[in-house]
Amino acid sequence: MADINRLAAWLSSGFHAAAVGCVGVLLVVTPWLYASVAMWWFWPMMVILCAAMVCSGLGVLADYGVTGEAGLRRHHRPRRVIFLLASAVPFFLFAMWRLHHDVPGLPLVYREAERSLLLLFTPLVLFAVLYCSVTPRMVRALAVTFLVNATLIAVYTLVVFGLYGDDGFVMWSPKVGYPGRACGPFYCPNHLSAFMNLATCLMLAVVITRRTVWRWRLAALVALVPVCLANYYTLSRGGMISLVLMLPFLLVLGSRGYPWKRRLLVFSVSALLAGGAVAALFGTRNPMMDRFEGHWLYQTVKELPQNRERIDTLRKEFFIRVDRGQYIDSALRAWRSNPLIGIGPGQHPIRWPQFAATEDGDREAKKYPTLTNHDYFLYEVHSDWVQLLEEYGAVGFVLFLIPLLAVLMMLYRAQTQGLYDISPGYTPLEQALPLAGMMMVITLMIHSLGEFALQIPAIVWNMAIMVSFGILVTALRTTEGSYEE
């Protein structure tokens, strides 16, 4: 019997390590493979994720052989995890039902629908795999791996952009488009900026966390330099705005746990530093500011105090003259064709030609619409929130908010529990993970108002892994309060 238990324990350890290893591969490799956005990179990464699921499941079975408790030997407080997974059930039941119900118009293209559902479903899969298989030591190792990998990507971006400029490469392919902007291993500089924002959130969380020793604060600040520089050279307006709007949340939530006098000091000093950096960026002549000033919306808003009559026409002009406005307006026209359940998961690029042209054309009068659908093709809406509404309708949009709010609530609760945790082995890095997870979610929520970062697999999977760590750092503790390795 003892031999069987030893064999089961050996198999359990091996399977769980293999599952976490597969997750580590996703964490490291996907940002380098063009963010895995192309189908020939997306599906191999899905195979690796499926391997992680299988290994984790076999590890749970081996756990059952050792302890008689299906997978609960490693982790505690399963009710919280069950609550989080259950919060997503209504949305995915609706999404699966929607997958098999066409609406008036073109029939569903299932390959696009399946990919859309997978991108939304895989964060839950990653969370479940990590809950079953990860240990505190693995959490620390993968969190550090994420930071090192992001720093290497930032250094690679700076080197390639500095040496080659617009004649550089996106990995081994020649760079196409986006003159004067750094892309790194991503096709689009806006997506590189979103990824750099994820790393920035974790680094800033480490810096501001109360228990962090100064040498780790210094290390995080040093690593933050190439990450911020690479982010700057993407010249992403959305990335910069989302990062700036995230800072107040970071200061308010990050100063929790400090005595009130130190909290006031930390908040004031951090606010001055952050405000000074933002003022220096927007108050001097630099390429980023040139991009802001060259945008029609910036000029229009700047002129509003002197031309208040333009406020009434601002919305109409935004949807006609600004590219993001055109994209969003076409998606809203598609949504209005079936407002409750949408046009179908992943169907935006399929149905886009049907709704791209504005509705002011007149065939009988031989009048073309203001915007036609013949001069460009749009794969994504460039607003994740609008695309969610367009494809899943008002019902899917509301149901999606339930797990999103549950994630934020779980991260906030995990941060609260970790503020005063002095369990052996509970490091400042782990204390910073819930705060970092909240900042990542908030930053991507803002960025996704005008970008499709959440259609990029590498960004979704990296954020899902780090957010899972933020939730699980307290679930890894035993009921007695010690910290289990």
Residue 190 falls inside a structural domain: no
Residue 20 lies in a domain: yes
In 3D, which of 482, 465, 478, 472 has the Cα closest to residue 426?
Answer: 482
For residue 162, the one-letter residue type is G
Which tens digit of pLDDT belongs to each residue from 329-387?
889 999 999 999 999 998 998 888 888 887 777 677 777 777 777 666 778 898 999 99
Q: DSSP assignment of 364-411, as one string?
A: TTTB--SS-SSS---SS-S-HHHHHHHHHHHHHHHHHHHHHHHHHHHH
Q: pLDDT, tens digit, for every residue of 143-177?
A: 999 999 999 999 999 999 988 887 777 777 777 77
Most confident by average pLDDT, 97-101, 174-178, 445-449? 445-449
The range of the structural domain enclosing residue 62 comes to: 1-73
Does 370 map to a domain? no
pLDDT, one tens digit per residue, over 272-298 is 877 777 777 777 777 777 777 766 666
Q: Is residue 400 part of a domain?
A: no
Within a domain: 10: yes
* Residue 16 within any structural domain of the chain: yes
Q: Across all residues in the chain, what is the average pLDDT?
A: 83
Q: What is the dihedral of CA 244, 245, 248, 249, to 10 degrees?
A: -120
Collect all residues with Cβ–Cβ distance below 8 Å to 317 and sequence separation of at least 6: 300
pLDDT of residue 260: 72
Place of tokens 């934020």: 408
Evaluate whether residue 218 is within a structural domain.
no
Average the pLDDT over 88-97 and give the result: 92
Structure tokens at 237: 């307006």
Q: What is the tally of structural domains in the chain?
A: 1
Domain assignment present for 266 = no
